[in-house]
């Protein structure tokens, strides 16, 4: 996702940045306005000008206009369920050992946030096969993924991954669903030897069951981690970690597939 | 880095896995042996057979033979300085918004661990321009990177990044060096609008100085985080976070380049 | 603070417990009611009965009636400024090496939360001399401390601790104020040899300045810690750390006074 | 435990302080020497002089001579099992709501570290009844506690606490043993109404079982926390959390006893 030209054209996605908590990912359309609680921004004030400058809203508030990046698209996706935080996406990507060209099975798709992140990293020659059993989620995910421009690297599959995985010899199976232990035997069949199983679960009981299933299926190098991210307020004379933080999102369990006999 | 065939050929890199703390990344050579403190492994017992099975050492200890993956290469690189941990590499990748095709300036190269990780994610069309002022580091990094097979995506540059960055309109500038604040004005010139500045520093004083330099240079969306990774021992009836952990590696500071006038 | 009789008498403080976030510390008065957003509780339904049972509000909601304990008094104190969390109070008590009979200088008093906690642990023969420069704080603290029944163990002193400490040979000097480093030389004079200096500060800059002042004043055994408390949701099948947590309150710095010459 | 006179007399306990990792708690005896790997210290160089000064070892290394405090005694106790860390002792004290005069049941005694800490805070009118089933532990604990001078506030009971608690109407039951859930019904009988149950357990499974037993026995205000302590290296230009840290010791579960019918 290389950054485009620095001149904003009509139809381009732009990120209006007020501060870290107030950013807006919108499409610049000639003659139209975008309304915020700090006044509206006229796209005609933006189009044809370079990215990276300030634009004034009708209330005189400055927004910086940025070309959106992959993290912006992920953060702005519509979702009803809890979505993965960037810290967990980052570790899942790392622990799955994937990269450009990787073939991945993912389940469940959910809102498509992790799906899009995976697609971003495996493009242009890799593919993400993403299973989701709830039809309405598949539709929302499709729209979310299309907006990122990564749809061609994703195959959305409406279906229950605990019933079967059609793909074979995949590089990684990545799970964010309620019963990952039920998918472990299927993941074992779908994976290449040495391929990565990675699963995200909020509770320790899910993590224990998944770990036991991995052991039973002769995975090795099984490990579980939890990532705690602290945001630091950095300001001369007032530097300190932020008062409120996300204390827990989930545990990440990973393992390698073997050919060891049962 | 897709996984190769499951049959081990001579000259192939293999990962001998005993347990999570004892793994060996070696090249399988016909007629040769690899010595461990658990006895030696004859490569002839491996070559021509599939990955993912056990091989017995001369002392009867079982090793699983895996195709090495990017994380294995990174972990096994030779280094004299402190190298980045996977958790920090993962977040740096995420915060830099890079992906296949991205153009990156990195400094300092050090042992080439982060360089290789970056190359892995920007291949095949992206490039990592990596600056390192210490000649002996450049040589070690070159060997380390070559072993990963990612050398063609990296341009190693022996030189002092605080003296100047030759590249222009790059997607990200990524720093792991002692005085990142000295590079901020140069990073500002080298970056595309909206491009990512990401810096890793062990101490809070480095972080404060870097943040102030970013503010002075009109970067916005400036934030600093610290990632704390807990490993969890998962075992029925004995589940708990591990007793000893890495308490701190460093702070990661990121920001976006603007065109706002000084 | 031993628990009194189990029968509730008029005039007694009682803790009405609905759940961990909704508790009420009130005085039981014959013929009166206490109003909550879950209906009112008639004290006549409580008085003369044992502690530890449920009472129904006018809306049929059950409250458990407990004898209040020191932590309840501390938590329910009126305050305008940020008060110390139990985790930090606990560590300050521990690090100061105080106990029954200890003589303590504290500053600033603030709302009297830490003052009361200290008085609780040094009673009946110890004393807490607590300095506070803002007159209105002294008055509020006085009322807060009186309610705990610990007032006889506290000497509230309206005055600026940075101007001087009158007490001598005290066991501990405990600080929770904006410029602790300014108090370090005075603490050095006030302390017994081997006595404890303990200071709480939200920011790292305060902590650095205080540490330097301690070094300059020949304190040894200087250390700084930060306590991160995670609350765990424990429930079969859903066990996990809580999602939101207090990420940071402050750093605690402690040291021992010496007689080493400057 | 108020600090004694500043002059060191023969027979006094002294803490020889080299640095935070190397401290020695010894008894000063006329004509004798104490050997360290930094040379020996002659007690005759110490006796009759004030605390808080430096003494030179035979190798010319300076030790500061301190009057030992409660934390020093706890840290220097002989033990074979894992003992509680100060951070956990501090929270257990806080969560149990005890203070001078409190009556406590504790199990198991172990090496007597927590026992001594509890005795320190409940003296002079309170008591700690401490159960330990292993005879050799009782003997070691007795010696450890005697050294602290707190023995008169402790009643050591050799016996299995899961078989019964003899005390009644106690202020707190505090557990550090393998199967705390087996003690919950007995704790319920032994506690005063509103009294505190506090238990420390390394694993999450123990914590879950204990929480369920507390619910079954109608305890309320049940909560579990974990305390993570970071040590910060504070030094101008090099300030940062320490690299290695204790990642986990255990979970602390607390609750209040009710009279609610089963």
D97 and D54 belong to one structural domain: no
Contact D47, D67 (CB under 8 A): no
CATH number of the domain encompassing residue D56? 3.10.330.20
Q: Which residues in chain C are closer than 8 Å to A237, comparing Cβ atoms? A: 203, 205
Report the pLDDT value the prediction gives residue A25, as an integer from 0 to 100. Answer: 97
Q: Which residues in chain B are closer than 8 Å to A196, comparing Cβ atoms? A: 69
- Are B204 and D243 a contacting pair at CB < 8 A? no
Contact A170, A193 (CB under 8 A): no
Calculated CA dihedral for residues C253, C258, D2, D6, nearest 10 degrees: 180
Average the pLDDT over C230-239 and give the result: 96
- Are B243 and D248 a contacting pair at CB < 8 A? yes
D38 and D17 belong to one structural domain: yes
Last-in-domain residue among D49, D68, D87: D68
Last-in-domain residue among B44, B68, B92: B68
Asked casually if ipTM beats, i.e. exceeds, 0.85, the reply is yes
Torsion sign across C-alpha atoms D135, D141, D143, D146: negative
Does residue C80 belong to any structural domain of this protein?
Answer: yes
Task: Return the SS3 of D244.
Answer: strand
C-alpha B150/C-alpha B114 separation (Å) is: 12
Condensed to tens digits (0 to 9), the pLDDT of residues A130-186 reads 999 999 999 999 999 999 999 999 999 999 999 999 999 999 999 999 999 999 999
A55 and A179 belong to one structural domain: no
CB of A230 within 8 Å of a chain C CB? The answer is: yes
In chain C, what is the straight-line distance between the N-terminal and C-terminal CA atoms, in Å?
44
Report the pLDDT value the prediction gives residue D2, as an integer from 0 to 100. Answer: 40
C-alpha D83/C-alpha A186 separation (Å) is: 45
Condensed to tens digits (0 to 9), the pLDDT of residues B72-99 reads 999 999 887 788 999 999 999 999 999 9
Angle between helices A135-148 and A113-122 (to 10 degrees): 40
Last-in-domain residue among A68, A97, A113: A68
- Are B248 and D236 a contacting pair at CB < 8 A? no
Q: How does DSSP assign D69-127, residue by residue?
A: -HHHHHHT---SS----HHHHHHHHHHHT--TT-EEEEE--TTSHHHHHHHHHHTTT-E
Nearest to B86 among A94, A120, A241 (CB): A94
Report the pLDDT value the prediction gives residue B2, as an integer from 0 to 100. Answer: 40
CA angle C79, C82, C85 (to 5 degrees): 100
Instruction: Give alpha helix (H) positions in B36-111.
Output: 70-75, 86-96
Condensed to tens digits (0 to 9), the pLDDT of residues C29-40 reads 999 999 999 999
CB of B203 within 8 Å of a chain D CB? The answer is: yes
Distance of CA B105 to the CA centre of its chain: 14
- Are A246 and C244 a contacting pair at CB < 8 A? yes
D72: tokens are 């020093």
C-alpha C162/C-alpha C158 separation (Å) is: 12
D117 and D207 belong to one structural domain: yes
What count of Cα atoms within 13 Å lies in the side-chain half-sphere of residue C175?
29
Omega before A83 within 30 of 0, i.e. cis: no
C58 and C78 belong to one structural domain: no
Instruction: Give alpha helix (H) positions in chain A.
Output: 70-75, 86-96, 113-122, 135-148, 184-190, 204-216
Instruction: Give alpha helix (H) positions in chain C.
Output: 70-75, 86-96, 113-122, 135-148, 184-190, 204-216
CB of C189 within 8 Å of a chain D CB? The answer is: no
CATH number of the domain encompassing residue A166? 3.40.50.150
Average the pLDDT over C121-138 and give the result: 97
Name the phi and psi angles at A97, rounded to 5: 60, 25
Angle between helices C113-122 and C86-96 (to 10 degrees): 40
Report the pLDDT value the prediction gives residue B3, as an integer from 0 to 100. Answer: 47
> Is the pLDDT assigned to residue C119 strictly greater than 70?
yes
Shortest distance between the Cα of A72 and any Cα of chain B, in A, equals 9
Contact A208, A201 (CB under 8 A): no
Report the pLDDT value the prediction gives residue A5, as an integer from 0 to 100. Answer: 52
Of residues B193, B213, B185, the one with CA closest to residue B258: B193
Does residue A7 belong to any structural domain of this protein?
Answer: no
Q: Find, in chain B, the residue whose alpha carbon is nearest to that of A226.
A: B230
CB of B229 within 8 Å of a chain A CB? The answer is: yes
Of residues B51, B1, B70, B117, the one with CA closest to residue A102: B1
Does residue B261 belong to any structural domain of this protein?
Answer: no
> Is the pLDDT assigned to residue C245 strictly greater than 90?
yes
Cβ burial, residue C142 (10 Å; 0-12/13-18/19+) = middle
Of residues C121, C184, C180, the one with CA closest to residue C148: C121
D78 and D51 belong to one structural domain: no
In sequence order, the β-bridge partners of residue D27 are D13
Confidence at C2, pLDDT banded by 50, 70, 90: very low
Q: Which residue reads 């030696």 in tokens?
A: B40
B40 and B141 belong to one structural domain: no
Angle between helices B135-148 and B113-122 (to 10 degrees): 40
Q: Which residues in chain A are closer than 8 Å to C246, comparing Cβ atoms? A: 243-245
CA angle C129, C131, C136 (to 5 degrees): 125
Report the pLDDT value the prediction gives residue D5, as an integer from 0 to 100. Answer: 52
Does residue A129 belong to any structural domain of this protein?
Answer: yes
Task: State what percent of residues in chain C have pLDDT above 70.
Answer: 98
Global pTM reads 0.96
C109 and C239 belong to one structural domain: yes
Residue numbers of chain D with a pLDDT score lower than 50: 1-4
Q: Which residue reads 């979970």 in tokens?
A: D251
Q: Which residues in chain B are closer than 8 Å to D243, comparing Cβ atoms? A: 246-249
> Is the pLDDT assigned to residue C6 strictly greater than 90?
no
Q: Which domain holds residue A112?
A: 73-256
Average the pLDDT over C114-141 and give the result: 97
- Are B248 and D238 a contacting pair at CB < 8 A? no
Contact A38, A104 (CB under 8 A): no
Condensed to tens digits (0 to 9), the pLDDT of residues C161-190 reads 999 999 999 999 999 999 999 999 999 999
Contact C174, C190 (CB under 8 A): no
Report the pLDDT value the prediction gives residue B180, as an integer from 0 to 100. Answer: 98
Shortest distance between the Cα of D231 and any Cα of chain B, in A, equals 9
Contact B160, B137 (CB under 8 A): no
| Beta-strand relationship, D170-175 and D191-201 | parallel
CB of C42 within 8 Å of a chain D CB? The answer is: no
A122 and A23 belong to one structural domain: no
Q: Please provide the average confidence, as pLDDT, over all residues in chain B.
A: 96
C-alpha C150/C-alpha C143 separation (Å) is: 11
Of residues B102, B140, B105, the one with CA closest to residue B122: B102
Shortest distance between the Cα of B115 and any Cα of chain A, in A, equals 15
Cα distances (Å, whole numbers) of residue C66 to A228, C3, C4, C13, D203:
37, 10, 11, 9, 30
Task: Return the SS3 of A44.
Answer: helix
Does residue A6 belong to any structural domain of this protein?
Answer: no
CB of B204 within 8 Å of a chain D CB? The answer is: yes
CA angle A111, A164, A186 (to 5 degrees): 100
Calculated CA dihedral for residues B49, B54, B59, B61, nearest 10 degrees: 170
Condensed to tens digits (0 to 9), the pLDDT of residues A213-228 reads 999 999 999 999 999 9
B62 and B79 belong to one structural domain: no
Task: Return the SS3 of A244.
Answer: strand
Cβ burial, residue C136 (10 Å; 0-12/13-18/19+) = exposed
C218 and C155 belong to one structural domain: yes
Contacts of B203 (CB under 8 A, 6+ apart): D237, D238, D239, D240
Report the pLDDT value the prediction gives residue B5, as an integer from 0 to 100. Answer: 53
Q: Which residues in chain A are closer than 8 Å to B124, comparing Cβ atoms? A: 100
Q: Please provide the average confidence, as pLDDT, over all residues in chain A.
A: 96
Condensed to tens digits (0 to 9), the pLDDT of residues C53-106 reads 999 999 999 999 999 999 999 999 988 778 899 999 999 999 999 999 999 999
Q: Which residue reads 């472990």 in tokens?
A: A184
CB of D112 within 8 Å of a chain C CB? The answer is: no
Chains that touch D (3 or more CB pairs under 8 A): B, C
D102 and D139 belong to one structural domain: yes
Residue numbers of chain B with a pLDDT score lower than 50: 1-4
How many structural domains is chain D composed of? 2
What letter would DSSP give residue D37? B
- Are D249 and B239 a contacting pair at CB < 8 A? no
Report the pLDDT value the prediction gives residue A79, as an integer from 0 to 100. Answer: 86
Confidence at A82, pLDDT banded by 50, 70, 90: confident
Nearest to B1 among A1, A99, A227 (CB): A99
Q: Quick one: how many helices (H) and strands (E) in chain B?
A: 6, 15
E-strand stretches of chain A: 13-19, 22-27, 33-36, 39-42, 54-56, 62-66, 103-107, 127-132, 154-158, 170-175, 191-201, 220-233, 240-241, 244-246, 251-256
Cα distances (Å, whole numbers) of residue D184 to D161, D180, D215:
10, 7, 10
Q: Which residues in chain A are closer than 8 Å to B52, comparing Cβ atoms? A: 193-194, 257-260
CB of B164 within 8 Å of a chain A CB? The answer is: no
Judged by CB atoms within 8 Å, which residues 83-102 of A form the interface with B? 86-87, 89-91, 93-95, 97, 99-102
E-strand stretches of D120-259: 127-132, 154-158, 170-175, 191-201, 220-233, 240-241, 244-246, 251-256
> Is the pLDDT assigned to residue C195 strictly greater than 50?
yes
Does residue C150 belong to any structural domain of this protein?
Answer: yes
Does residue B8 belong to any structural domain of this protein?
Answer: no
Does residue A262 belong to any structural domain of this protein?
Answer: no
- Are B241 and D247 a contacting pair at CB < 8 A? yes
Q: Find, in chain B, the residue whose alpha carbon is nearest to that of A90.
A: B90
Omega before A108 within 30 of 0, i.e. cis: yes
Omega before D124 within 30 of 0, i.e. cis: yes
* Long-range contact set of residues D187-191: C-beta below 8 Å, sequence gap at least 24: D187/D105, D187/D257, D188/D217, D188/D218, D188/D219, D188/D257, D189/D165, D190/D105, D190/D165, D191/D257
Q: Find, in chain D, the residue whose alpha carbon is nearest to that of B201.
A: D240
- Are B205 and D246 a contacting pair at CB < 8 A? no
C-alpha B220/C-alpha A142 separation (Å) is: 32
- Are A97 and B227 a contacting pair at CB < 8 A? no
Kindly state the helix (H) or strand (E) to which residue B132 belongs, with its residue range.
strand B127-132
CB of A234 within 8 Å of a chain C CB? The answer is: no
Angle between helices C135-148 and C113-122 (to 10 degrees): 40
Report the pLDDT value the prediction gives residue D183, as an integer from 0 to 100. Answer: 98
Contact D80, D134 (CB under 8 A): no
């Amino acid at each position: 996702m290389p950054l485009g030209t620095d001149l904003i054209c009509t139809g381009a996605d732009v990120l209006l940045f007020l501060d870290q908590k107030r950013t807006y990912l919108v499409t610049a359309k000639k003659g139209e306005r975008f309304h915020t609680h700090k006044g509206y921004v006229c796209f005609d004030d933006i189009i044809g000008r370079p990215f990276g400058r300030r634009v004034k809203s009708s209330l005189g508030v400055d927004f910086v206009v940025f070309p959106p990046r992959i993290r912006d698209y992920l953060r702005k996706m519509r979702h009803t369920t809890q979505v993965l935080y960037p810290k967990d996406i980052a570790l899942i990507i790392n622990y799955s050992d994937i990269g450009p060209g990787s073939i991945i099975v993912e389940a469940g798709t959910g809102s498509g946030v992790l799906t899009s992140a995976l697609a971003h990293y495996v493009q242009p020659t890799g593919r993400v096969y993403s299973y989701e059993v709830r039809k309405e989620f598949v539709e929302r995910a499709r729209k979310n993924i299309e907006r990122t421009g990564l749809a061609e690297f994703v195959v959305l599959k409406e279906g229950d991954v605990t019933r079967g995985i059609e793909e074979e010899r995949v590089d990684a199976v990545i799970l964010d669903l309620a019963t990952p232990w039920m998918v472990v035997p299927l993941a074992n069949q779908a994976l290449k030897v040495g391929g990565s199983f990675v699963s995200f679960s909020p509770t320790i009981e899910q993590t224990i069951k998944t770990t036991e299933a991995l052991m039973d299926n002769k995975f090795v190098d099984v490990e579980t981690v939890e990532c705690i991210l602290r945001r630091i307020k950095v300001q001369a004379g007032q530097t300190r970690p932020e008062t409120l933080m996300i204390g827990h999102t989930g545990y990440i369990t990973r393992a390698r597939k073997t050919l060891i006999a049962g």
